[in-house]
Every structure is written in C-alpha cells, then in structure tokens.
Amino acid sequence: MPTLSDSFLTALGLIVSGDADLIEIVALSLRVSLTAVLLAALIGLPLGAVLAVVRFPGRGLLIVVVNALMGLPPVVVGLVVYLTFSASGPLGVLEFLYTPAAMIVAQTVLVTPIIAALARSTLADLLGEYDETLRVLGANRFDVVATLLWDGRFSLATALLAGLGRALAEVGAVMLVGGNIDHVTRVMTTAIALETSRGALPLALGLGIVLLLITLVLNAVVLGVRNRMEAHAHA
Amino acid sequence: MPDPTPRVIPFQPPRPADPPALRIEGLCLSRSGAALLNGVEMTLSPGGVTALLGPNGAGKSLLLRVIAGLIAPDAGRVIVPRAMQGRIGLVLQRPVLLRRSVAANLRHALALARVPRRHRAPRVGELLALGNLEALADRPARRLSGGEQQRLAIIRALAANPLLLMLDEPTAHLDPQATHAIEALVARVTEGGTKVILVTHDTGQVQRLADEVAFLHQGRCHEIAGKSAFLTHPESAAARAYLTGKLLL
C-alpha cells in the first residue's frame, strides 16, 4: 500500500507527463459537464426569468418545487434517467443508456433546478430595482426578461458556476446511467471511485487534483472576466 | 358612365371631443386604510410647465405614477388627450439607470420605443447633445455624478418622443450648477413642444420654470393657477400656509 506522499508524487507525475488515460477521462468529464451546463442554462435561465417576472396561478408552488429540486439526490436522478432510457423505458429507442448522452441528460436534470432557482432569485432582486423604469419606458414582458438577463449576466455567471460545480462533482447519476465503462463513459468522479476501490490511489489522487484545479481555474477565470467587464463598462 | 351603385357611407357615431389637455377627475387611491389620493381634480394647461407643489406626503409622486399608468387608482380617471396617449415619459426621483454605458442606456430606451435600428445611432447622438453628455457616452451610467445621471434619465425618457414628460423632483440633492443644467434642459424640452409636469419643493424653481402651479395637500388638489397668481395671491389657506413656511399637517 503506497503512502499518501508516494501517491501524491505519482499523481503529479501522471499529470505532468500528460498520461493518456488521465487526459481522456478529464476531457470526457469536461465535455459531459459543460454540455450539461449549457443545456441547463438554456432551460434554467429563461425558466428562472419567467418565474421572476411573470405572475400566474401556481407560481409560488412552482418556485418552492424548483428550490426543492436543487437538493435532488443524484442517485434518484440517475435511477429515473436509467428507467427512462432503459430498453423497456419510454425513450429506450434512443439507446442512450451507457453513453455520454445519458450522462449529459442526467447532469442536465440535476443542474437545471440550481440554475433556475439561483437565476430567479437574482433576477427577482433586479426586477425590484428595474420594474418601474422598464414599464415607463414601454417594455413588455419579453423586453423585461431580456433586459434582466443581460444586466444580471455577471451574477448569473455565478449561478452557472454553481451548476458546473455540481455537474463536475456528481458521481451517483453518471455511474448509474453511464456505467463507468473504460474509454466510453468513465469520467473523473467515477474513475476516482473505481480506482480508490481498487487501491490504485495515484490515478485516483491525480484525478482528484485535476478536478480541484479545474474548479479553481474556472472560478478564477469567471471571477476575473466578471471583474474586468464590470470595471470596464457596467458598474 | 356613372356608377349605378349608390355609395354607402357608414354611420360614424360622434366621438367625444378630444380634451385639449390632461384632465384628472376624482382620483382616489387608498393603501392600508389611508387615503393617499383623495379625489384629485385638475385640468392642466396644454403646454408649458406645470409645477406640482406641496409638502411631503401630499401625493405628488403618487399622482405622477397614476398618470403614467404604473398604479391603478381605486376611483376616478386620468383623461389623456388622444395625441398624448402612449407618449408619456416619467423620470423618477431616484432614476434607475441600467448597468450599461450612457449610450447603451439610450440605445436600450430607443429599442423599447420600437425605433428602427438604423435610426438609433443618430438619435443617440441627438439625445447626448441635448443632455450635453457627448463626452460621457461610453462611461458606465452608474458612475456619473448625480446631475449627469438626472440629465441622462431625462434624455432617456425623451427617446420615445413623449408629448408629456413628468419629472419627480429632478434637482433634489443637486448643487446649483447641476440644478441649472437640469433646468436648462427642461426649458429646451418645453421649447420643443413637450408638456412638462414637474414635482418640486423649490418655489425658486417654480418661479424660474413653471407656467402654472397645482398645489397638492393631503391627497387633494387645493388650487391650480398661473405661476404669478399662485405665488403672489394663493387662494387656498393650505397654499398660503405652505408658501409662508408654516408646517402643514
């Protein structure tokens, strides 16, 4: 059994040498999670904006449901997506199960409520500030939503980051629907779980370090871009 | 050859005469049991500047919001001349500028006013010139000084070419120089034919800008008169007390 320091040094060696397996796993993780966040943003941002702007019967209940779904257990999502795409499921004909597509769907389901709920909260605050001004200027609901999304974009970037963090760190759902198949559906979190159970700590630790670095770099980049753009033009 | 078919002229019911000016009839609004507007009646002059004068809590800002359609009254109505309908601008006491540059705020207002895209850039230039803000076009709007922000809010309200522009204490908290710039801008706006309703506490500003004065107190219009008549010989006891600095409760 290697010591922690041995594992750490071996892990650094894998990263520095550009180990092919490690790169493949990291690339698939990023492809799946970024795609899922993009899809979740396309659904969650307009949904959050509509919940913030439009008054309709049942709106309060829907907000409660969306907020509650932020804490959706990944394994439950994985199970539902599994049943949906299984051979006897309603979308079994798509043959998504054990492919990255199913993993993207599962992560999209997990991340959409996070983005929608955080966007609703952000945009509701902004609406409180902008409402009268936009109405006086003749804005219709579509104009209001578009204006809020644009002017709230820096705060919404934080919501997207929260969603990406959830997607990258998630293991239960992608394990169920992806199957953790080597060179097909193995991503960082499922690989870490597998390698740890096999006692192959260097690769698990290397992937863990990469996962942390990716999260750190993404947050730093988004924060840097946000600060720079805000300082440049939009206070 | 003459057409044998007789011309049929459809019957057109007589339309009620279009009021020449904004008229407010019996406007009432209550919140939590308190009457904030208590039967406001007034007919404003068609042009120039009407100053809404009155102590704090008189209902001046609320009246502007009702006229702008932001708040529905409990009773009464605002009769807007046909030409003026849909062409009413309002600048709030603390104008909210978008988190964009000065020019982008104007472009946004023009887009909301459905001004065709090709006409927006020249119109932005005109508005910037009107507000004397050309040099600040690319500056973040929220980093302007108080006076500059007010000028931007006014020219933004002009993007839709309003025939009625309502200004809620546009010079509150501004220094004399900034106040002068706002007053000069308001004068230019009225020269262009736009009717202005100006909420103010400043009788000096009334003297400089207004053509007529409507005095509000406790949600009612106590008096509406020409500027000189109001300032020299106010008819209502409330207006007399206000002008002599006596507290109105």
CB-nearest to B92 from A133, A151, A235 is A133
Q: Are strands B23-31 and B75-79 parallel, antiparallel or unpaired?
A: antiparallel
Task: Identify the pLDDT of residue B14.
Answer: 44
Nearest CA to B157 among B20, B47, B79, B64? B64
Q: Answer left, alpha or beta for residue B45, where phi above 0 means left and psi between -120 and 50 means alpha.
A: beta
Q: Which of A5-9, A23-27, A41-45, B86-90 ranks highest by mean pLDDT?
A: A41-45
Q: Are strands B23-31 and B212-217 parallel, antiparallel or unpaired?
A: unpaired
Where along chain A do its domains lie?
19-227
pLDDT digits (tens, 9 = 90+) for A98-123: 999 999 999 999 999 999 999 999 99
pLDDT digits (tens, 9 = 90+) for A121-172: 999 999 999 999 999 999 999 999 999 999 998 889 889 999 999 999 999 9
Residue count of chain B: 249
Query: B98 and A136 in contact by Cβ < 8 A?
Result: no
* Confidence label for B5 from pLDDT (cuts 50, 70 and 90): low
Instruction: Please give the interface size between A and B, counted as residue pairs whose CB atoms are below 8 Å apart.
Output: 54
Instruction: CATH number of the domain at B165, please.
Output: 3.40.50.300
Task: Identify the pLDDT of residue B15.
Answer: 47
Task: Identify the pLDDT of residue A158.
Answer: 87
* Confidence label for A4 from pLDDT (cuts 50, 70 and 90): confident
Task: Identify the pLDDT of residue B63.
Answer: 96
Query: A133 and B113 in contact by Cβ < 8 A?
Result: no
For the record, the structure tokens of A207 come out as 């992937």
Q: Name the domain count of chain B.
A: 1
| Interface residues of chain A, partner chain B, Cβ below 8 Å | 129-130, 132-139, 143, 147, 151, 233-235
pLDDT digits (tens, 9 = 90+) for B146-180: 999 999 999 999 998 999 999 999 999 889 999 99
Q: How far apart are CA B246 and CA B242, in angstroms?
A: 6
What is the C-alpha radius of gyration for chain B, rounded to an integer number of angstroms?
A: 21
Cα angle for residues B201, B204, B210 (degrees, 5° grid): 85
Task: Identify the pLDDT of residue A11.
Answer: 76
**In the predicted model, what is the mean pLDDT of residues A192-201?**
88
Give the torsion through C-alpha atoms of B131, B136, B142, B145, to 10 deg.
Answer: -70
Residue B231 lies in a domain: yes
Q: Which of A122, A130, A137, A153 best tests the B interface by mutation, with the highest count of B CBs <10 A?
A: A137
Query: A130 and B159 in contact by Cβ < 8 A?
Result: no
Which residue type does B12 have?
Answer: Q
More confident residue, A94 or B18: A94
Phi and psi, residue B245, nearest 5°: 80, 10
Q: How far apart are CA A163 and CA A148, in angstroms?
A: 20
Q: With 80 as the cut, is the pLDDT of residue A96 above it?
A: yes
Which residues form the domain of B58? 23-98+160-243
Q: Which of B99, B139, B150, B197 best tests the A interface by mutation, with the highest count of A CBs <10 A?
A: B99
Identify the CATH assignment for A19-227 out of 1.10.730.10, 3.40.50.300, 1.10.3720.10, 3.40.50.150.
1.10.3720.10
Chain B residues within an 8 Å CB radius of A135: 69-70
Q: With 60 as the cut, is the pLDDT of residue B4 above it?
A: no
Chain A residues within an 8 Å CB radius of B111: 143
Within 8 A by CB and 6+ apart from B202, the residues are B171
> H helices of chain B, where?
60-68, 102-112, 117-130, 146-157, 176-191, 203-209, 227-232, 237-243
pLDDT digits (tens, 9 = 90+) for A64-84: 999 999 988 999 999 999 999
Residue B84 lies in a domain: yes
